[in-house]
Structure 1
């Protein structure tokens, strides 16, 4: 076997890149589903006369399940394999989209889009990228993580214009059918290309100098997910990472994707113009996340996180000063800078999870991602309450700027060389049976 493996060590054609590419396509398609609740609001209200609250409920349930499904999905990949879970998740989101086209009640929208699509997209979240990276790559992990993490935003950019045009030209149902067909089109590709581990095809992980046997399947996925969480909560790094990621969620999609357009409108900017600025943020998201992955391979992840949060906080402070009715140079600068920083936190957090939790890092990252979603949901709700209370979003931007400063300090508080107390926590984690 060693001769065969040695013969296949040409990194340029390594199967790992094909596995990562197909996983990325699946993540892109899943990202497209997250764009739909926003552009479905008006068509659903016009046809069914539902309130915005009832429509938003489905989106909220979807967001929560997206966060809570991720850690269980990571454990299920260890139990049943990447390929099976990706195929099942793609089938789930396709079914949810198709069934939504025949709904006639708001509770059905919550059930189909909130629960069914939420479960499917949660299984195709960043934990999929983390699992693929951990298994198939020994080097370039930060770069690959950055590329795969940008997939969900790329999906929004690729599909949103076409979906919006379809709804405006035809109806909302053809848009959902198009999404379902996209998911079904990726399914056979995932089945044919995805493999669980390089050892399945007699290969080493990309960049590895040794052959690594495939680990045995881990039974009891749900139980293991809870055990990993319970063990991780006994360690300081978990709480520091979860805290920073909760602030990350609050200061990005929690506030920006929900309240940036209304805040800009308060200053006289048309909503369509504000939406275009958000789209530009999404474009620079991709660049920033990939660049952050590249940097994570070369720079201390803790220092990167601290720098990202500090810069994001400065941008938040500047926002009340640059908001105007028209697009000006300072606003363009904000859009570019915020886009570069928006998802840049993901690769360093994944790298730190890998450092502290090894084989369980994908599950631990899934739980920190759940904290991210909780932070996002909290900011989305409290941002609206603050606007109603103060008549302005200015207190919101300042509060989030202070939170980002706190997140920078939390990032620097993470110790790569544990103190005696932290070493005791790590020994408890290792002896709990959660590691493999």
Structure 2
């Protein structure tokens, strides 16, 4: 590798991280859109809310199933090609959605095509960029990129809600599609697979030959890890699924997805609208949830280093269940202080389950913990998809969402029981260097 004779004022790694952050922000906006489209699609096409929820469900499930393989796709085809392909799929799905006339087309375009595209731009993408481009500040970058997903929903949701309210749903979808195309250009211009591609070392890496320089043979191990990434992903699923702890974690995280993405992000806006609240006001409350989910994640990460993660999960799921029981009594035509307070507290709990779940995966499964979390996160999306459909079914059958809230609160109580059942996971020793490379840690 040749180094540049003049070092840039800002290391290229930070520009790559910024491009990745913008990509994740743009992709995250798509997850909140079905809640805005439910009413307009029902009014225009007279589709049942069940069929509309089915498209959101397929989107979430495909997102979850693609995510564990995203690292393998990036190793096989490169980060830039994978991101460009994913964003192009998202843009194509958006364009097709605008011209659809049948409910099955919404499921295909929004559920399958956009779900696969956004699933390739999930947490694995963030971890890949942080791992390849940063030696120093890696944790900071990973935290920022992970938080970018919630920030994307925060930024886009009020804007999209205003567009839907004033100009119908098609301009909102076109806006997202155009955003994806702009991000394609950003990815082409800025993203590169590795620092070596532009003659640089990772940010904070020691000079060649200095302390901490990779030993000879590291490239060969990395190549072997890349060639077997997909096989290892499946092998980890096969081995971890034989242990009860995996299913306890997967069950809890399925409840997490059911009560966040599946319920609040998909059905909160139409449920609030059923009680006379304006769509823009309801979307604003969802944005408040997004703002405080960032705060909640940071605080939860700090607590996870100091408190038994099992106890944290008991508290998080228990509190979330109480909020869902109270929510029907809080609904009304205005987004008053009480509803804002609900959004704040729910936001603090929204993504707070992630840090303790990641830590438990690491403690229970060692060097395979990152991949195990990828599969546990897939169950998160399956749970989200199931409740996205369930909410539509209940709304069509009962004329309202009334039964959904106590049912999902009961799921939270079940998650509390699962957390109490988790074995005490001892801290694992650091994985050998070869294992860390293979795991992409």
1:270 equivalent to 2:277? Answer yes
CA contact (8 A) 1:75 1:363 kept: no
Alignment correspondent of 2:18: 21
CA 1:216–1:358: 2 relative to 1, 3 Å: farther
Secondary structure of the residue aligned to 1:216 is: helix
CA 1:47–1:332: 2 relative to 1, 3 Å: closer
Spell out the pairing of 1:166-205 with structure 2 (5 A cutoff).
Answer: 166-200=163-197, 201-204=199-202
Alignment correspondent of 2:250: 242
Spell out the pairing of 1:25-424 with structure 2 (5 A cutoff).
Answer: 25-138=22-135, 140-200=137-197, 201-204=199-202, 206=204, 210-212=212-214, 215-216=222-223, 218-219=226-227, 222-234=230-242, 238-258=246-266, 260=268, 270=277, 272=279, 274-293=282-301, 295=302, 299=305, 303-304=308-309, 306-317=311-322, 320-321=325-326, 323-324=329-330, 325=332, 331-350=339-358, 353=361, 362-380=370-388, 392=403, 395-396=406-407, 398-409=409-420, 413-417=424-428
Distance in 2, matches of 1:162 and 1:175, equals: 9
CA contact (8 A) 2:91 2:177 kept: yes
Give a deviation string over 1:83-139, Cα, whole Å, max 9, x none. 111111011101111122222222222211111111101111122112223333445
Give the unaligned 5+ runs of structure 2.
Answer: none
CA 1:68–1:104: 2 relative to 1, 3 Å: same
The number of residue pairs the alignment matches comes to 419
TM-score, structure 1 as length reference: 0.80
Give the unaligned 5+ runs of structure 1.
Answer: 419-425
CA 1:318–1:30: 2 relative to 1, 3 Å: closer
Q: How far did residue 305 of structure 1 move?
A: 5.9
TM-score, structure 2 as length reference: 0.79
CA contact (8 A) 1:143 1:291 kept: no
Secondary structure of the residue aligned to 2:308 is: helix
CA contact (8 A) 1:247 1:407 kept: no
CA contact (8 A) 1:133 1:145 kept: yes
Give RMSD over aligned pairs.
Answer: 4.0
